[in-house]
Amino acid sequence: MDSIDDWVRTCYSVDVTPFMDGKEVTLFGWVQEIRDLGGIRFIILQDREGTIQVTVPRKKVGPEVLSKSDALQKRYSVGVKGIVKKTTMSPRGVE
């Protein structure tokens, strides 16, 4: 596994709002749920404040990210860096 020793949490899941659309965030937590729909994988990340949906679109991420997301299982502790996307498709309006 890769080291995330140099990563710094930018916020908790509850802090991510649609107003942050386009901003990069770094989150840490546990994998609560994984849903693979073929072209896209949804990971529900839980931290001490709540949950957030992380998306891994196969056509938009590199092979290294795909490989790492393939290896994930429920309850794994993970760090995630990504760009906030406002969407009406997600329960909280962001992913």
Contact 20, 94 (CB under 8 A): yes
pLDDT tens figures, 57-78: 999 999 999 899 999 999 999 9
pLDDT tens figures, 10-34: 999 999 999 999 999 999 999 999 9
Q: Is residue 89 part of a domain?
A: no
Which CATH number goes with the domain that contains 57? 2.40.50.140
Domain count, the chain: 1
**pTM (predicted TM-score):** 0.89
Helix or strand or coil: residue 70? helix
Element (H, E) at 82: strand 77-83
